[in-house]
Every structure is written in C-alpha cells, then in structure tokens.
Amino acid sequence: MSVKAEVDLVSSNKIAYEIKQGENNKGKKIIPNENAGLVLLAIDLEQPSSCHQKYKVMDELHSDIFGRPGVTGARVVALWDAFQGINDALDQLDNKSFAHYTLTRYFLAYSVSRIIKDDPVGAKVMASLDLVVSNNKIGAFTSAFTELAILAANDLNAEISSDDDDHFDYKSDLKSSKWSKAMAARLLSQFKKDVARKKAESIEKVFGGLLKK
C-alpha cells in the first residue's frame, strides 16, 4: 500500500497526502509530500541543516527519505502533527528574526527528536509511531512533543545569549551540520539537568504510556 493510501486509511480519509499541487482534496487537511519529506529529513535522517534544499527531497534524497521500510502513512501523520507544534515553541524565541527563519523550525524538531531518542523508552516510541497512531495516542504524542519543543526553545534562548553575539549568524549556523549537532547536544544536556533538578519530567514518564492501549 502506498503512503498516500495509508494516510487516507489511518486518518479515516480526513487527511490528504498531496503528491501534486492542485489535486482535488477539498475539505481535507493537506500534507504535501515535499513538506513531509523535509520533516522526515530533519527528524529521521537528522539533517535539519539540509532542509533549505527542498528540491532535493524529490531528487537525490528521495530514496533516502522515502525508501525506508519504516516510512508509513501513520509515521508521516504522527510526525507531521508533531511538527505543527513547533510553531508554539517558536513564539518563545527572543530573537524574532531567528524564530521566523525557515530552518529554525526544522532545527528545533530535530533537537526535540534527539532528546526523545536519547532515552530508551523515547527511542522505542519514535521507532513505533504506527503503534502510537493505532492506539489513538497521536494527540498525546503531539502534545508531549510540543511541550519539549517549548522547553528546548527557552533553553536555546539561554544558549544563544551565552555565546558571543558576533559568533551567532543563524542563517549560516543553521546550514551547518556541525553547529546543529553541537547545539542540539547542548539542549539535550540542559534537558537532562532540568530532569535531575525536577524542573522537567523524564522522557520515560511522559512517553512511557504511548505504546499501551
């Protein structure tokens, strides 16, 4: 079954996986396949720094993004819904130009997924999103993802302000794989400190029930 058909099935025909613009999907929520590819590129392939090259999604990166056995309609819907929660996190960023820059949302999504996957329970959830969807826990997954994104955005404010302003060029930094990995690691470290200090709940506690009916 194609991803398009699977999206129709898991969403009870309420979501359309749009292959080409202009398809007759009136009344449905739309997930454009190129945009879905960018979300998968940032979260699954951990390449947020490449998400400004949208044209590669349907070209040289297509098989890497979509050719994996784990890319199902349920996974696409779950990650797409979770990605929409990034908008709430962007509102927390002090630097509004940085917040409105397209790559920032993909970097935050990647950083949150890194935090989740660092925990064994979280890693299992991220690898089992089909089960999350079949258990009707997609809303809980999206809410938890959004809350983590808000925490990460606030921590990102602190990380950026602690750096020398002359060394922060978000348009350049966000296109750097090295910067993205290093900053995501700092956000992960800060999250662990928050959990240890009881300022944030552990991934195990928040995500542990998502694979249970």
Let me know if residue 175 belongs to a domain. yes
Let me know if residue 212 belongs to a domain. no
- Give the pLDDT confidence of 134-152 residue by residue, as tens digits: 999 999 999 999 999 999 9
Residue 61 has pLDDT above 80, yes or no: yes
Task: Give the DSSP H or E segment for 115.
Answer: helix 102-117
Q: Which domain holds residue 96?
A: 3-207
Residues 39/57, Cβ–Cβ less than 8 Å? no
Residue 196 has pLDDT above 70, yes or no: yes
**Rounded Cα distance, 109 and 49, in Å:** 12
- Give the pLDDT confidence of 101-136 residue by residue, as tens digits: 999 999 999 999 999 999 999 999 999 999 999 999
Instruction: Tally the domains of the chain.
Output: 1
Query: Which residues fall within 8 angstroms of residue 93, CB to CB, at 6 or more apart?
Result: 99, 104, 153, 156, 157
Least confident of 114-118, 156-160, 190-194: 156-160
**Rounded Cα distance, 77 and 5, in Å:** 12
Taking CA atoms, 159 is separated from 6, 69, 77, 88, in Å, by 40, 37, 32, 19
Average pLDDT over residues 33-51: 96
- Determine if residue 22 is left, alpha or beta; phi over 0 gives left, psi from -120 to 50 gives alpha, anything else beta: left
What's the pLDDT score for residue 46?
97
Confidence band, pLDDT 50/70/90 cuts, at residue 165: low
What's the pLDDT score for residue 24?
77
Question: 16: number of CA atoms within 13 Å, CB side?
Answer: 13
What's the pLDDT score for residue 206?
95
Across the chain, mean pLDDT equals 93
Confidence band, pLDDT 50/70/90 cuts, at residue 180: very high
Let me know if residue 65 belongs to a domain. yes
* DSSP letter (8 states) at residue 199: S
Let me know if residue 189 belongs to a domain. yes
Let me know if residue 179 belongs to a domain. yes
The token duo for 164 is: 């020398």
Average pLDDT over residues 183-189: 97
Let me know if residue 213 belongs to a domain. no
The token duo for 25 is: 């999907």
pTM (predicted TM-score):
0.94
